[in-house]
Amino acid sequence: MTRRCGFFLNVFGLKLPDYLGCEFFPETPDSDVCVGHHEVKAAMERAEKP
């Protein structure tokens, strides 16, 4: 599963440097902490529906 930060950056064709891997970022819906939570949640819901 793609983590939120990776997904969000991929939207813009960007990649995090290895030293800033997504595992260092918390899983939280708080937009002050991590971006893209709602976007990834919506994408996951769409993927579950045929």
Helix (H, G, I), strand (E, B), or coil: what is residue 11?
A: helix
The pTM of the full predicted model, rounded to 2 decimals, is 0.38
Domains: count for the chain: 1
In a domain, 24, yes or no: no
Scan for tokens 């995090």, then name that residue.
Answer: 16
In a domain, 45, yes or no: yes
In a domain, 50, yes or no: yes
Q: Residue 21: what pLDDT?
A: 64
In a domain, 26, yes or no: no
Buried b (16+ CB within 10 A) or exposed e, 6-42: bbbbeeeeeebeeeeebeebeeeeeeeebebbeebee
Q: Residue 40: what pLDDT?
A: 74
CA 18, chain centre distance (Å): 16
Write out the residue range of the structural domain in which residue 46 sits.
1-16+33-50
Run means of pLDDT, 10 residues per run, the chain, 50 residues:
62 77 68 68 83
In a domain, 41, yes or no: yes
Contact 36, 5 (CB under 8 A): yes
